[in-house]
Amino acid sequence: MTTSEPVAPREEGLYLLLLKDTADAVAGTASLDEALAATVDLVAERLGFDVCSVYLTDERGDLVLAATHGLRPEAVGQVRMPQSEGLTGLVAEGEQALFTSRADEHPRFKFFPETGEERFRSFGGVPLVRRGRCVGVLTVQTVREYRFPANEVVALQTLAGQVVSLIDVKRRLAPSGPGRPATPARGLLVGLGTSPGVGLGRVAALGVDPLRAPPTPRPFAGEAEELLRFARARDAAVRELEVFAAQIEAEHGAAAAAIFRVHEELLRDPDLEARVRARVVEHAEPAEQAVYQAVEEVVAILSGAGPAKVREKADDFRDARAQLLRALGVAAGPAAPDGDGGVVLLAEVLTPAQTAHLDPARVVAIVTQHGSETSHASILARSLGIPAVVAIPDLVASVAEGERLLVDGDNGFVFQDPAPQIEAEYRRRGEAARAAARVVAAELAARAPAGPLVAGVELLANVGLPHELGAAREHGAAGIGLLRTEFFFLQQHAWPTVKEQVAFYRRALQAAPRGPVVVRLLDAGGDKTLPYAPAHDEPNPILGLRSVRFLLSQPEVARAQVEALVEAAALEQADVRVLVPLVTAGWELRAVRELLEEASAARGVPPRPLGMMVEAPSVLYQLEHLLPLADFVSLGTNDLTQYLLAVDRDNELVRQYYSPYHPAVLRALDWLRTRLATEGRRPSVCGEMAGDPLGALALLALGYRTLSVRPRAVLPTRCLVHCVDEAALPALRAEVLAAPTPADVERVLRRALRQAAPFLLEA
């Protein structure tokens, strides 16, 4: 028996570096052929394979060799095989990875002499899946018999998932082949799409804000005069912010204005005033220099504080300082770039103040060299409806002033000097997306009269911002399965009073669809820090003082929220239900119950139903103690998946390990639903998994019948319920639970969805 060669240990970080370099190489190519060649060369050279090839499906579904490193170059475009032939065909046909150290012993092995592959013994292949369909296969081969290590298999599968979207862009936007010469963009830049949509315009670079540079020195006018100038400027800046925030709120909602409420509070900060006064009195500094240096002191403290959210607060102080310096007469840069037509704003970093001053009628997109999905600028860009792509390496050095850019905020792509066919393709894509939505609506309209095939399904909506309530009602949600109250708290500049909360909840209840409204108590902490809450420098906030832990550490805050909910529900005579996030112990439910009963007794009304969220795995092992304390149960699949798999889903280094289709997650969900059924409980699912067609199908197969999804997902999910045959669900459940990997689970679900409602894969 031949033994395979030992696997040499890989250098730490090699796989992550390969992912990055492959993305950069593909992004920097001008055509599909070049992109494929760059991919196979990098994979083969970095991982030491003798062969790396890419096969793409043609219009008939056959596999065609599109690029290779190691096989005969003349075989490219010539080798063709149906998916029923060979190991590569088996990978595509089954949409499943295959790795073998003795390819010639596999029953599906087929030798293709034109490739020159007779000397290769080992074979590995991973499918390239895009929008629920296999569009190709990435293969690797070695001359020697090679035992593929598990981490290498995972790396190639992850690489396939990342590269396929870039390959897809090249294939669609820069087609090549006989009679179809490529006419690509000058370049393709890849970043993180943080605000959806597409914008096309000319670049206007936003340089360093003069208000972030030290002001020009001027003579000291005396202590009393400088302090008076500071006081007047602060009052003027606060008034200006109040007016501006009111305007932004009226035009774009409270979420967009919330940051400026924070800036108002920072300008009133006694510590900041004391620092300015000290510099004027002790250092004889003019008001401008005193303001600038005082904020620099605060920023220095915050910038070294550790967590990104704390460092982001430094930008808030800088923006507040800019308001003060303007009021003191320091000249500012242009709030928006000059020029005619649509403008793509380019910057290294964009502050919230700079973003909010932009005119969406002129600024069609934003691209920045740094940033994140949760940065204030990204949040405001979404509120203003401006497409944005951030975190583009070397952006400023790669793009020139006045250059035309097409910005794809959905996928994170930026096309430089896009060719007419690229612009036409994006217009076609926009129409295709609208057409797909029309197909879903038409299918639902045609099937609805016959009634749903899956009986007893209740579809609710998850909402956070007020405008989403109207969308939930418009799309036919039967109620609100999750009203996230933390967004309201994030919009405030101080702890909201009971009266303020009652007003907000009443407006929400009036706008909500008829039916139950499940209100989740404040879920702050972790990645959702309140600017006015006590600061905690936690090494791991996701496992720290968050959710109900945070709320119960602020008893008066908890009491005020519960009182406001009871009051609003009574005044509106609404079916309000109170949900406790991240429950891990019975005393947390008892503590909230006591507050609820106390507030209800004071109002003379029956207590509202109290529910618990299943997000922590510890709940699964103490249901017999927790269920008697809760009136209803809601599953948060986002956190449950995160905690079950020990994966921070926001950590780029481990994000590929996060999957709601992991066998452990599905088996936990199946066990929980079965266990709750024995207690006569019907749980709802309010995580993102329920809003995805594959996830919703998995949940239906596992027996869940109450799903709460984002408003725009209500219609596709309703359509799914009318398309899936309930009689087929038990067999699907068995197949899903037997699948050994997340990729296998998704493959099973894709096949089932293609049979029942293929159009939902494009929705």
HSE (side-chain half, CA atoms, 13 Å) at 753: 28
Tokens of 523: 């879920």
HSE (side-chain half, CA atoms, 13 Å) at 70: 23
What whole-number distance in Å separates Cα of residue 688 and Cα of residue 713? 10
* Contact (Cβ atoms closer than 8 angstroms) between residue 266 and residue 317: yes
Active site residue 686: yes
**Location of structure tokens 């609820």:** 596
What whole-number distance in Å separates Cα of residue 346 and Cα of residue 49? 41
* Contact (Cβ atoms closer than 8 angstroms) between residue 254 and residue 466: yes
Q: In what order do the strands lie in the sheet with 80-81?
A: 80-81, 63-69, 51-57, 133-142, 122-130, 98-100
What whole-number distance in Å separates Cα of residue 332 and Cα of residue 357? 13
Helices 555-572/498-511 angle, 10° precision: 40
Task: Label the pairing between strands 80-81 and 63-69.
Answer: antiparallel
Q: How remote is the C-alpha of 338 from its chain's centroid?
A: 32
DSSP assignment of 274-301: HHHHHHHHHH---HHHHHHHHHHHHHHH
* Contact (Cβ atoms closer than 8 angstroms) between residue 253 and residue 259: no
HSE (side-chain half, CA atoms, 13 Å) at 677: 10
HSE (side-chain half, CA atoms, 13 Å) at 532: 20
What whole-number distance in Å separates Cα of residue 234 and Cα of residue 232? 5
Amino acid making up residue 481 = G
Helices 308-327/287-303 angle, 10° precision: 170
Q: Which residues contact 225 (CB under 8 A, 6 or more apart)?
A: none
Q: Is 375 left (phi over 0), alpha (psi -120 to 50) or beta?
A: beta
Q: Choosing from 134, 686, 719, 723, which is the catalytic residue?
A: 686
Long-range contacts, 447-452 (Cβ 8 Å, 24+): 447/719, 447/722, 447/723, 448/722, 450/722, 451/722, 452/721, 452/722
Tokens of 603: 């109002």
Q: Which of 243, 276, 273, 272 is nearest to 260 (CA)?
A: 243
Q: What share of the chain is helix, strand, coil (3-state, %, to 5)?
A: 50, 15, 35
Torsion, Cα of 114, 120, 124, 126 (10° steps): -20
E-state strands within 530-688:
576-580, 610-614, 632-635, 684-685
For the stretch 344-364, what's the b/e string if a residue is b when 16 or more beta carbons lie within 10 angstroms of its beta carbon? bbbbeebbbbbbbebeeebbb
Q: How remote is the C-alpha of 360 from its chain's centroid?
A: 23
Active site residue 252: no
Q: Which of 180, 197, 168 is nearest to 26 (CA)?
A: 168
Q: How remote is the C-alpha of 594 from its chain's centroid?
A: 36
What whole-number distance in Å separates Cα of residue 244 and Cα of residue 58? 55
Q: Choosing from 376, 475, 493, 662, which is the catalytic residue?
A: 376
Catalytic residue IDs:
376, 686
